[in-house]
Structure 1
Amino acid sequence: MGSIGNFHAVLDDTKCLAGKVPWWKDAVFYQIYPASFQDSNGDGWGDIPGVLSRIDYLHNLGVDVVWLSPIFESPQADMGYDVSDYQKIYAPYGTIKDVDALMSACHERGMKLILDLVVNHTSDQHEWFKESRSSKDNPKRDWYIWKPARYDSNGRRLPPTNWRGYFAGPTWTWDDLTEEYYLHLYAPEQPDLNWDNEACRKAIYENTMRFWLDRGIDGFRIDTVNKYSKRTDFVDAPITDPTSPHQPAPEMWCNGPRIHDFIREMRQEALAPYNAVSVGELSNTPDPAQVLPYVSAAAKELDMVFEFSTIRLGTGDGFGAKYIYQPFPLSRLKALTLTWQTFIEGTDGWTTVFCENHDNGRAVSRFGDTSTPEMWRRSAKTLALWQATMTGSLFLYQGQEIGMVNMPTTWGIEEYKDIESSRFYLEAAKSGDAARTEATVRGLQILARDHSRIPFQWDDSPNAGFTTADADPWMRVHDDYHDINVAKQTGDSFSILEFYRALLPLRKSYRHLFTHGMFRLLDPTNEALFTYVKEADSIPSGQKALVVLNFSREEQPCPDIALALKCVPLEVLLLISTLDQVSVGSHRPREVLEPWEGRVYVCSCK
């Protein structure tokens, strides 16, 4: 692992920050995709008892909060993001008692457990929707969004609007029984709830939130949190894709007219009485001025949100061209990091730090370098150092800590199981445009959600230790599991895993600089070096850190550390490096950064 210096410059900032900030600001969150984490019974499907069996692994890693992706009863049209019963567990995952046991195990270790809350829509198999579609005068009819058809001059039936959904195709599906269309921003199996209906909102708070909070769950990651309030005029979107009858229209449903009223009510009715933590998924909101109202402490809405400008680098327009890969320079990554690190300065808002989740390709395959095993190892550690020195609550995704990579490019499209990947590929193939189809396949090989969903690699036994040797995993195990797995990296001082195990406690020891510090980008146009200063504005000593990351496979000259920190050289010490051979604690920085090397220097000058 990268070495850590123990010297007198380390501040005991516990006295400085303890009691002044909510616990979740300093927490390390770890997202688990339950189907792919650990199978306990050999059916090829990960489960909650499997997560429980690995709880000490998470605790020893330095995790404070476990976040489970959807585990509720579901037909699995979209891997559990289509819930048919919020108070039952999808049987292959286990039972409510299994959730209780996992929650107790977390609490016994000083950890917390949060669940994924999906309430923009339900499954079309949910009892609410079954009632809603049963007749136009059913009491729950208005719990979903129904509209009559339009007709063209030839009498041909058309949807109420021309909106394109996130999974390709229209956002409206015709229902033969009641002869109206219902709205779904995602798949037809995921009808949108009507948040304008007060009875519907109250049922959401009671059945999907208080039920679990009463059992002791510590909070929620809240899916699609800014899509609850739709524009109610239901007008067509401008035609921006003349090749399609369905047009992108996020302005019709993101950050709508009543959204802040709804979220304040959700907090007041369900979150605040339990002191539950909330982190919202905030899509299509690239303007910091629009994000701040969601996370301002005074606004009393959400504790924090995920903003996706950085993690979506390389994607197309988010709709028809989403998987047409767009290369980007390092300067673009740095500019976005600057925006989303500084937008809360001078405010009472908070932010999140993440570069992986269940909806994107693996970070080391997108932002790092997998050209050789050595570049893979180095770049994964450098990305870890980048993330761990960022301001905000840190979120890790399963497998990130061992450098799991994207699916091999030799795998065929049949290995892609995700509904979004399948629909975008089929849309491209049906277009008859061979170049578009080829570009979509290339984009999927980099960006697809499937990459993050393959089974976790625990060891080099058959099926990577995810399930039994004779089981048939729901997704194919990666070909490289013999080389990338927990067992191989455990105890290896050069490994990515051991680097994370050393880095996470260091982040907490220096939380006044890393978690809470101010971000100052240096040399923004340099396309090889990512360099920035972190300053602690609330610490009397004026301590600062300089983070220097070589994002290239070539040696780079090291910046003048003392000049960047505005300290005399003898006040500067090397805190951590991604390379073991660097002398940690040295006052004299090496003049050259090796390929994909990262370092952090600190000084206590005023």
Structure 2
Amino acid sequence: MLQQSRAGPGTRWQTACIYQIYPASFKDSNGDGFGDLPGIISKIDHLESLGVNAFWLSPCDESPNVDGGYDISNYRKIDRRYGTVADIELLIRSLDEVNIWLILDLVVNHTSDQHEWFRESRSSKTNAKRNWYIWRKGKSITIGNECENPEVRQAVYADMRFWLEKGIAGFRMDVINMLAKHPDLPNAPPRVHDYLQEMRKDVLDHYPETMTVGELLYTTRDEVKLYVEPNRRELDLAFEFDLCAWNFGPGGRFDKGRDTVQALKRTICRTWNGLRSGETAWQTFFLESHDTARSVTRFGDDKPEHSAAIAKMLAVLSTTLYGTLFVYQGQEIGMENHTADPIESFDDINTINAMRKIERSRHECSQPGETIDMSDVHEQVRLQARDHTRSPIPWKYGEPHAGFSTTVGPLWKRMNSNTDRIDMASQTSASNSVLSFWRDMIEFRRLFAKNIVFGAFDVIDDTSSEGPIFAYIQSGMSHKRPLKVDILVVLNLTAEDHVPFALPNLEGAKLARLIDTRWEGGFIADASDVNGELVHLGPYQALVFFIVKETAASLPIDP
């Protein structure tokens, strides 16, 4: 079984750093151009050196792969492209040896039309599984499991137990609040909370320390609290998407929205001040997933000379806000979007369908013979499409397919064209690389979990709206008493240079510089007091300071 986590106070998932792997794009072990489970096993040393506590594995279940593996045809079989159930069992044992636990994707509000349940359901109106799906006029409107049916729920629970018995540590639950409902119907059944409580009682409570994180779409913050309030015994964590969608327009992902620094700051403040219910409801932090584009491009200026600075600044932001941290594969080396690729190369079904829908809409509103201008949509595809995070990981520049695969044919998805600048091997040993900085920041977050993970988040007022600087203090408690050391974070969210910022003049405290992303390695062995000084920040620079409230003989500044 799983060993104890290296997490600190609180439950192990609260202080955890959880790494997401999209298996098709992580590492190919057999030369077919498609990532697989043995490839993941071969790179466990990377996960260990990064310092993560767990990883969330996107679906590798049997699937026709129409929707990137999220159209599952058998919940208990592994798709042959990825390997076998025996490979998952070996993966669990191998992870256990390095004290990393595995979280699987649970995609049960819909299935593939190739799933045996659906085949039976559509075979006859009198079939025993006919009411396992939602049908209208003889058609299934979502190929969605009818979770109002207790037989469906018990079948789902049996599949969950199948994997829990093998030693996995929990589930990420795909669009769990929508539970098989079509967009024309209410987002969730009236009894969605009852069903989650039933799942907890019938399944999860029998596997101690199991963690659940739910993807909650189209929910308000008050609604999210209902899912994650511990006394309700539903979910442990929830994914909210405000920060990932901060610059979407009213038309969605490919509609350009307000991408001002002020809008970004407001989103961060609203999100991190809005969810907590006392100290019980829990937050997650993530900037990337398989459903987003790359954060370095989305939050930066797409200039190669600023790429590493942006990645390090975002690493500071990610590791100094409270909640459970999720990091997506490639984020730790600052992977970027495929901004130079032709629009025809974007082949994700979500991207294709969205572009077709927008083009049809514009065609209906156009004059006969009028050329449809899609240039603005193409610009947003290059910025926001989820194709970007699904491209293969470049392990070593100079090797075939940058070390991802030995295939002589094409990869399942295009490799980014910038592997000469961004690859895993060149960053592994470089002390000033994005990867090295991420390792240090994950360790820093672990060491100062009382401040960061469990602490209070207070924005310095004059940085909360106007200007490129965003600054905040993370302060913690121990045994109901304030800690001696608080943490001040100062970020330049823009490409502006020489941006002045007056450090606060804190009476009865010492301000010591700890982290500067422009320094070699990032961490500074300097305990001199800079209280009240004026600092100037370069493009996308981040600074972190200790606020020492009592004189100390030494400061723990080298994690």
TM-score scaled to structure 2, two decimals? 0.90
**1:349 aligned residue (270, 281, 284):** 281
Which residue of 1 is the match for residue 190 of structure 2?
Answer: 257
Which residue of 2 is the match for residue 224 of structure 1?
Answer: 175
Percent identical among aligned pairs is: 39
Residue pair 2:339, 2:383 contacting (<8 A) in 1 also: no
1:322-370: CA deviations, max 9, x gaps?
3122232122222221222222151411110100000111000001233
Q: CA deviation at 1:543?
A: 2.8
Q: CA deviation at 1:455?
A: 0.6
Q: Is 1:269 aligned to residue 211 of structure 2?
A: no
Partner amino acid, structure 2, of 1:122: T
Partner amino acid, structure 1, of 2:14: K
Q: Comparing both chains, which one has the higher relative contact order based on Cα–Cα distances under 8 Å and sequence gaps of 6 or more?
A: 1
Partner amino acid, structure 1, of 2:135: W
Partner amino acid, structure 2, of 1:574: R
Which residue of 1 is the match for residue 12 of structure 2?
Answer: 23
Which residue of 1 is the match for residue 487 of structure 2?
Answer: 545
**1:429 aligned residue (348, 354, 359):** 359
Which residue of 1 is the match for residue 254 of structure 2?
Answer: 323
Partner of 2:75: helix, strand, or coil? strand
**1:403 aligned residue (334, 340, 345):** 334
**2:60 aligned residue (38, 63, 71):** 71
Cα distance change of structure 1 residues 196 and 412 upon mapping to structure 2, 3 Å threshold: same
Which residue of 2 is the match for residue 340 of structure 1?
Answer: 271
Which residue of 1 is the match for residue 402 of structure 2?
Answer: 464
Residue pair 2:457, 2:472 contacting (<8 A) in 1 also: yes
Distance 2:359 2:483 in 1: 61
Which residue of 2 is the match for residue 44 of structure 1?
Answer: 33
Distance 1:200 1:595 in 2: 54
Residue pair 1:38, 1:466 contacting (<8 A) in 2 also: yes
Which residue of 2 is the match for residue 198 of structure 1?
Answer: 150
Which residue of 2 is the match for residue 473 of structure 1?
Answer: 411
Partner of 1:99: helix, strand, or coil? helix
**2:519 aligned residue (580, 583, 590):** 580
Partner of 1:334: helix, strand, or coil? helix
Q: Is 1:418 aligned to residue 351 of structure 2?
A: no
Partner amino acid, structure 1, of 2:476: A
Q: Is 1:282 aligned to residue 216 of structure 2?
A: yes
Partner amino acid, structure 1, of 2:162: F
Distance 1:556 1:181 in 2: 62
Partner of 1:183: helix, strand, or coil? strand
Q: CA deviation at 1:181?
A: 2.3
Segments of structure 1 that go 5 or more residues without pairing to the other structure are: 1-16, 149-179, 185-190, 235-247
Partner of 2:201: helix, strand, or coil? helix
Which residue of 2 is the match for residue 446 of structure 1?
Answer: 383
Q: CA deviation at 1:567?
A: 4.0
1:218-254: CA deviations, max 9, x gaps?
1111100100174xxx9xxxxxxxxxxxxx65xx332
1:252-279: CA deviations, max 9, x gaps?
3324411111111111122221121101
Which residue of 1 is the match for residue 474 of structure 2?
Answer: 534
Residue pair 2:8, 2:449 contacting (<8 A) in 1 also: no
Q: CA deviation at 1:441?
A: 1.5
Which residue of 1 is the match for residue 554 of structure 2?
Answer: none
Which residue of 1 is the match for residue 424 of structure 2?
Answer: 486
Distance 1:197 1:556 in 2: 62
Which residue of 1 is the match for residue 81 of structure 2?
Answer: 92
Residue pair 1:421, 1:449 contacting (<8 A) in 2 also: yes
Which residue of 2 is the match for residue 368 of structure 1?
Answer: 300
Q: Is 1:515 aligned to residue 453 of structure 2?
A: yes
Cα distance change of structure 1 residues 556 and 517 upon mapping to structure 2, 3 Å threshold: farther
Q: CA deviation at 1:568?
A: 4.4
Q: CA deviation at 1:488?
A: 1.3
Runs of 4+ in structure 1 over 6 Å off: none
Q: CA deviation at 1:315?
A: 2.2
* Structure-to-structure mapping, 1:304-315, within 5 angstroms: 304-315=237-248
Partner of 1:429: helix, strand, or coil? helix
Partner of 2:258: helix, strand, or coil? coil
Residue pair 1:345, 1:518 contacting (<8 A) in 2 also: no
Distance 2:231 2:457 in 1: 23
Residue pair 1:556, 1:594 contacting (<8 A) in 2 also: yes
1:519-575: CA deviations, max 9, x gaps?
112221123011111111345435311100011222344433343xx3446x11112
Which residue of 2 is the match for residue 182 of structure 1?
Answer: 140
Distance 1:415 1:370 in 2: 19
**1:591 aligned residue (532, 535, 552):** 535
Partner of 2:440: helix, strand, or coil? helix
Residue pair 1:323, 1:443 contacting (<8 A) in 2 also: yes
Partner of 1:142: helix, strand, or coil? helix
Q: Is 1:301 aligned to residue 240 of structure 2?
A: no
Partner of 2:450: helix, strand, or coil? coil
Cα distance change of structure 1 residues 530 and 253 upon mapping to structure 2, 3 Å threshold: same
Q: CA deviation at 1:314?
A: 2.2
Distance 2:453 2:485 in 1: 14
Cα distance change of structure 1 residues 20 and 479 upon mapping to structure 2, 3 Å threshold: closer
Partner amino acid, structure 2, of 1:450: D
Distance 2:158 2:467 in 1: 51
Cα distance change of structure 1 residues 568 and 540 upon mapping to structure 2, 3 Å threshold: closer
Q: CA deviation at 1:19?
A: 7.4
Q: How many pairs are equivalent?
A: 526
TM-score scaled to structure 1, two decimals? 0.83
Partner amino acid, structure 2, of 1:561: L
1:414-454: CA deviations, max 9, x gaps?
31121111111222334436555222222111111100001
Distance 1:62 1:542 in 2: 26
Partner amino acid, structure 2, of 1:543: V
Residue pair 1:32, 1:66 contacting (<8 A) in 2 also: yes
> Once superposed, what is the RMSD of the aligned Cα atoms?
2.0
Residue pair 2:400, 2:406 contacting (<8 A) in 1 also: yes
Q: Is 1:391 aligned to residue 322 of structure 2?
A: yes
